[in-house]
Chain A
Amino acid sequence: MSGALREPWRSLRRQREAAAFGTWIFLGGEAMLFAGLILAFAVMRALHPAGFILAGRETEVALGTANTAILLTSSLTMAVAAEAARAELRRATLWGMGLTLALGAAFLAVKGFEWSSDLEKHLFPGDGFALAEPSAQIFFALYWIMTSLHAMHMLGGMTVVAWLGWQAWRRARPLRSPAFEAAALYWHLVDIVWIVLYPLLYLGGRAP
C-alpha cells in the first residue's frame, strides 16, 4: 500500500524508522529544554532550602496528584491508539485517541482550577505575595514557568492528536502512517516531564 509512503522514502519500514528516529532526537532536545529549567530549580533549592520547603507546602497536592493519575492514564490510552493504528484497527485507534484527548482536556481543566486557587491565595510572585520569605517567590516563579511551559506542551500534543484523529476518522490518513507512533512518543515525553515536576513541586516541601 502506498498511501502512507512519502518522498524521499522507498520503503514504508524505513520511513517509519525515520519518523521514530527523528522524534527521538527531537525529544532529546525537549529533554534538554526541561533539564535547563530543572537545573535552575535545583540550584535555587540548594541556595534557599528553607524557603523552598516552606513554599513547597503551599501547592495543591490533591489536584497535582489527581493530575498525575490522569496523565499517566492518558499515556496508556495513547499507547493503545498507536499500537492499534499500527495493526490497522480503526475503532481502537479512534477510541484511544478520543480518550487521550479527553484526559488531556481533563488535565488542563484541573490545572486551571489549581492556578486560579493559587492566584486567590496570592501565590503569584510580586507585591502582596502570601509568604514573607523572599525565596518562596523564587519557588513560585519556577512553579509558574514550568507548569505553564508544560501546559503549552500539552496543548501542542493535543493539537497533534486531534489532527491525526480527525484525519483517521475521515480516512484521510492511512493508519499505517508513522505519524501515530511519533505523536505517541511525544505524548509520553510530556507525561515523563510531569512525572519529574510532580515530586519537585508537590512533594518536596512535604517530606517529614
Chain B
Amino acid sequence: MNHITPAIPAPDAIPHEEPSYLTAERGIGSWLLTTDHKRIALLYMAALTAFFFIGGAGAVAIRLELFTPKADVLTADGYNRMFTLHGTVMIWFFLVPSIPTTLGNFLIPLMVGARDLAFPRLNLLSWYLFIFAGAVLIYALVAGGVDTGWTFYTPFSTTFSNGYVLLAGLAIILAGFSSIATGVNFLATIHLLRAPGMGWFRLPLFAWAIYGTSLVMVLATPVLTAVLLLVIAERGFGLPVFDPSRGGDPLLFQHLFWFYSHPAVYIMILPSFGVISEIVTCFSRRNVFGYDFMVYAILWIAIAGFLVWGHHMFVSGQSIYASLAFSFLSFVIAVPSAIKVFNWTFTLYRGQITFEAPMLYAVGFIGLFTIGGLTGLFLASIPIDVHVSDTYYVVGHFHFIMVGGAVSAFYGGLSFWWPKITGRKYPMTWARFAAILMFFGFGFTFFPMFIMGYLGMPRRYQVYPEEFQVWHVMSSAGAVLLAGAYLLPMGYLAWSVFWGEKAEDDPWNATGLEWSTSSPPPRDNFRTPPEVDEGPYFYHPEGEGPGHDHGDPHRDQVRTP
C-alpha cells in the first residue's frame, strides 16, 4: 500500500510548514471540545493514566497486606474494598478501554486512510461519558466502598453487602455506554471510510483486531447492562429476581454476568493481538505469516467467545452436561489463539530481527500470553478446575493474560507509535531496560501465584497459613520491580515530548498508511487523500523469502511533497 497517488496536486509545495494536529489549534477549549480523533486519543490517554494509578494503588494495598500471613495493614472489610477497587477500576476503567480508545482512536482512521472516525462528535461524547462514569465509580469507592469483588455475585451484592453497590453498578453501566459508542464508531469507520482501494484483506491486522473487539463490545456490553439493572432493581427497589429466599435464582446472575465477562476478556486481549502483529512483522522485516488465517482467527475468537461463559461456573452446581459442553468449547476457542502464536513465531523465523523496545515488549508478550493461555486450558479441564477454582492459580492465569499480555502490548504499542503520535523519539536504552524489567518484574510477581494456588491458597483472603508466605513475599517483591517498570516509561516518554529528538515520518521503516503521513500527522491526517493498491505489509517481495541483504521495505514509500 502506501503507494500514494496524489489525487489532487498539493496546493502549496512547501512541506512541513503546515501545523500538526497538536499545534493546529491552541487553548484548553480546543482540547476539551475537539472532535479530532487524535486529540481524543490523547484525552483518553490522560484519563487512563489516572485510572491506572488508582487501580495500581489498590494493587499496592493488596500486596502490602499479603506480605505477612496476618492482617496488619487493613481491616477485613478494607481488604475486600481494596481488591474490589483494584478489579473494577483495572477492568472497566483501564483494560477494556485501554488500547481501543487510545491507539485505536489514533490509528484506525490513519490506517484506513480516513480523515476522522465516522462519528467524531459521538467519539467526544463517549469520552465525557467515560469520565463521568469514572467519577461516579471513584465516589462510590471512596465514600462508602464496595466489597463485592468486581464480579458482584448475588445474593451477596443484592442482599448482604453494605457497600455502595448501586452507585458502582450505575458507573459501570455508564462506562458500558461509552464502550458501545466507541465500538459503533469503529465498526462504521472500518466499514464505510476505507480509502479507495483499501479492500478488506488489505486492512492491517491491528484494524482487524479492533474490528473484532468492537463487535464484541457492541454485542456483549448490553448484557452486562441488563444484569446490572437487575441487581440494581433487586437491591434498590426490592424486586426479586436473584434472591433464593424469594424464589429467585442466583445462578441466573452468574450466567448473565459471564455471558458478558468472558467475551470481555477478549475485548481486553484482541486489541493486543493487533498491536503485536504490527510490531513483530516490522522488527523481523518479514511479512506477517498467514495473514488470512490471522484475520479468520480474530473473527473466530470474537464469535466463539460468546459460547464458553460456563467455564466460570464449573463449581457452581450447573449441570454436568453443560459443564462438559463448555469445557469442550473452551478448548475450541484456544485453537485460534494458538494459530496466532504459531503465526507470530513463523513470522520471526528467518526474519532479520532487531530488538528495539517495542519488539522486546512483543516477544515478552508472546511468551507470557502463551503461559496464560495454556494455564487457561488446565482451568478448562473440569477435574483440574475443581481443584484450583477460586485459588491463586486463577489469579495467576488471568494476570498472565491481562497484565503480562494486554498491559505489555499496550506499552509495546505505545512505544511503537509514540514517534508518530508526538513526533519525538524517546531514549532507546531506557526503553529497552524498562521492557526487560517489566518482563522480569512480571514473572516474579505472578508466577508464584500458580504455585501457591496449586498448593491451595484461596483468592480474596487477607490472612493465610504461614506455609504460603514465601510465595507471597516473592510476589510482593516482584510487584515493586513491576511498578518501577510501569513508571519508567511515564518518565522518559514525558521527557521526550520536551527534549526528545525529532522523529522522522517513518522511524522504524515500517509499512502501513499511518507511516506515510508526517509525524505528528496534520489535522486532516493526509495532505492528499490516499489511494491504496497493495496489502498492508511489504517487508519483502511477494513470492520471495525475506531478504537478508537489505533492511528496508522493498519499495520506497512515495510521499506527497
Listed in ascending order, the chain A residues whose CB lies under 8 Å from chain B are 7-8, 14, 17-18, 21-22, 25-26, 28-30, 32-37, 39-40, 43-44, 47-48, 51, 125-126, 134-135, 137-138, 140-142, 144-145, 149
Contacts and interface: CB of A to CB of B under 8 A. Distances in A.
Contacts of B225: 33, 36
Contacts of B227: 36
Given A40-B230, A149-B229, A22 B222 contact: no
B240 A137 contact: yes
Given A36-B256, A48-B247, A125-B238, A8 B114 contact: yes
A22 B118 contact: yes
Interface of chain A, helix or strand or loop or mixed? helix
B239 A141 contact: yes
Contact of B218 (A29, A35, A39, A138): A29
Interface in B15-43: 35
Interface in B78-119: 109, 114-119
Nearest to A145: B233
A25 B230 CA distance: 24
A48 to B, nearest CB: 6
Please give me the 10 A-B residue pairs with the lowest Cβ-Cβ distance, nearest first: A36-B226, A141-B239, A33-B222, A8-B115, A8-B116, A32-B222, A22-B188, A36-B223, A29-B222, A135-B247
A18 B221 contact: no
Contacts of B226: 32-37, 40
Nearest to A39: B256
A157 B113 CA distance: 34
B192 interface: yes
Contact of A138 (B35, B240, B256): B240
Residue from the set B119, B218, B239 with the largest chain A CB neighbour count within 10 Å: B239
Interface in B162-209: 180, 183-185, 187-188, 191-193
A126 B238 contact: yes
Contacts of A137: 240, 246-247
Contact of A18 (B109, B118, B240): B118
A182 to B, nearest CB: 11
Contacts of A32: 219-220, 222-223, 226
11 contacts: A8-B120, A18-B119, A18-B191, A22-B187, A32-B222, A39-B256, A134-B246, A138-B248, A140-B239, A141-B241, A149-B229
A34 B233 CA distance: 15
B233 A26 contact: no
B241 A40 contact: yes
Interface in B212-266: 218-223, 225-227, 229-230, 233-234, 237-241, 246-249, 252, 256, 259
A14 B117 contact: no
B219 to A, nearest CB: 6
Contacts of B241: 40, 44, 138, 141-142, 145
Contacts of A138: 240-241, 246-248
Contacts of B259: 36
Residue from the set A25, A29, A145, A149 with the largest chain B CB neighbour count within 10 Å: A29
Contacts of A28: 218-219
A145 B230 contact: yes
Contacts of B191: 18, 21
A80 B131 CA distance: 39
A134 B247 contact: yes
A18 B117 contact: no
Nearest to A21: B188
A8 B118 contact: yes
A141 B180 CA distance: 27
Contact of B187 (A25, A126, A135): A25
A126 B238 CA distance: 7
B219 A29 contact: yes
A7 B115 contact: yes
A127 B233 CA distance: 16
Given A33-B222, A125-B240, A141-B239, A26 B118 contact: no
A125 B239 contact: yes
B499 to A, nearest CB: 34
Contacts of A47: 247, 249
A6 to B, nearest CB: 8
Contact of B252 (A18, A29, A43, A140): A43
A145 B239 contact: yes
A51 B240 CA distance: 14
Nearest to A26: B184
Contacts of B115: 7-8
Contacts of A29: 180, 184, 218-219, 221-222
Contact of B193 (A8, A39, A43, A135): A8
Given A29-B184, A29-B221, A145-B233, 20 more contacts: A7-B35, A18-B118, A21-B188, A25-B188, A28-B218, A30-B222, A32-B220, A32-B223, A35-B226, A37-B226, A40-B241, A40-B256, A43-B252, A44-B248, A44-B252, A125-B240, A141-B234, A141-B240, A144-B239, A145-B241
A60 B274 CA distance: 53
Contacts of B188: 18, 21-22, 25
Given A8-B114, A26-B218, A28-B218, A17 B256 contact: no
A25 B218 contact: yes
Contacts of A36: 222-223, 225-227, 256, 259
A31 to B, nearest CB: 8
Nearest to B188: A22
Contacts of B240: 125, 137-138, 141
Contacts of A40: 226, 230, 241, 252, 256
A138 B35 CA distance: 46
B147 to A, nearest CB: 25
A119 to B, nearest CB: 13
B222 A7 contact: no
Contacts of A25: 183-184, 187-188, 218
A188 B115 CA distance: 32
B252 A17 contact: no
Nearest to B218: A29
Contacts of A141: 233-234, 239-241
B117 A8 contact: yes
Contacts of B230: 37, 40, 145
B239 A21 contact: no
A34 B215 CA distance: 18
B552 to A, nearest CB: 32
Interface in B426-461: none
A47 B229 CA distance: 21
A17 B192 contact: yes
B197 to A, nearest CB: 15
Given A125-B238, A141-B239, A145-B233, A44 B249 contact: yes
A49 to B, nearest CB: 13
Residue from the set A14, A28, A48 with the largest chain B CB neighbour count within 10 Å: A28
